[in-house]
Amino acid sequence: MMTDRKLFLWMTLAMLGWGVSWPIAKILSNYITEHELVTYRYALTVLTMLPILYWLKLSFKIELKNLLLAIVIGVLLIFYTKLFFLGTKYGTAGLAGALVTTLMPIIVYVLMLLSRQKRPKIRDWLALTLGVIGVATMIKAWTFEVEQIFNISNVYLLWAALCWALMSIATAYTKSIHPVVLSFYIYLFATLIDWLVFFNPSSGSIFAMDQTFWAGFIFLAVGSTTFATTVYFLGVQKLGSNKGSVFTFLVPFFAIGLSMIMLNESLELTTVIGVVMTIASLMILNNVGNKTSQK
């Protein structure tokens, strides 16, 4: 029992790490550009993952298929990080975190649905409708003109959610590789490709930045990425994908709450209602209650 409690605590801390990445990104947008963030963040992540790979006694060996998929996912990660960064820069971090983290799995489900021959059940359509209404509630779509719904921040966030959904689908095709090893290669290729193709250090040396930047940057690279991702994958291995995925429902609430604390953002009732609706939608689509009770 104590082991389970400790594991649940570590998983909750990992979700806290993911949730805090949104307000931190908002803060860092005042210091550096999106591609500087990608290169610097994932370079530090790669370095801090090396001792973890050694501690877990994992091999760096990777098959060609998995290597090619890691490159593709690394490119998608570059664009996801850029879009998520710009979405928080031009919008509110709490809403951005809530919108993207709840929209991503819905997009994954829709894309997987389109690739199947079997028709979805009525329950699935009702759940998807609930999810769409939840997303519309978060952005208060009824208060906008049509063109306002697709403002610059919302567009960035929608594309970010799509990029992550494609990453999730591509990851599902990787076989016979430890997820931590796969993550290492994804971060490595994201760093190298962004540095070689997109990197343009126009904000000056990061070593001249103040303590606020360094505190946020180190926590984003190490806490929100190395620590949170590693703990999540190890937790999923012990708990199973069904129970492990339930913890991700904490992320939007952490993103909203921490944005209120760190950025003095106001709490919108519509955001909370929208998050609850989309999470209910995801639980229905993934049959969470039935699956977890069977384990």
Consecutive H or E run containing 268: none
Question: Per-residue confidence at 291, pLDDT binned at 50, 70, 90?
Answer: very low
* Rg of the chain on CA atoms, in Å: 19
The pLDDT of 77-94, averaged and rounded, is: 90
Closest CA to 193 of 41, 47, 71: 71
Please give the Cα distance from 67 to 177 (Å, whole number): 10
- Can you give the pLDDT at residue 241? 61
270 vs 18, 71, 137, 167, 168, CA distance in Å? Answer: 22, 39, 6, 29, 28
* Separation of alpha carbons 127 and 94, rounded Å: 24
How far is CA 31 from its chain centroid? 22
pLDDT band at 133 (very low <50, low <70, confident <90, very high): confident
CA–CA dist 117, 194 (Å, integer): 38
Structure tokens at 225: 């990425």
271 touches 95 (CB < 8 A)? yes
Report whether pLDDT(293) > 60.
no
Residue ranges per domain, the chain? 2-294
> Is the per-residue pLDDT at 4 higher than 90?
no
**Which H helix or E strand runs over 262?**
helix 251-263
Contact 23, 260 (CB under 8 A): no
pTM of the model: 0.84
Q: How far apart are the C-alpha atoms of 175 and 192, rounded to whole Å?
A: 23
Q: What is the rounded CA–CA span in Å between residue 99 and residue 151?
A: 14
Number of Cβ atoms within 10 Å of the Cβ of 56? 12
Confidence of residue 70 (pLDDT cuts 50, 70, 90): very high
Give the dihedral of Cα atoms 191, 259, 165, 44; nearest 10 deg: 20
pLDDT for 197 beyond 50: yes
Q: How far is CA 213 from the centre of its chain?
A: 21
Provide the residue count of the chain. Answer: 295
| pLDDT tens by residue, 9-53 | 898 899 899 999 999 999 999 999 999 999 999 999 999 999 999
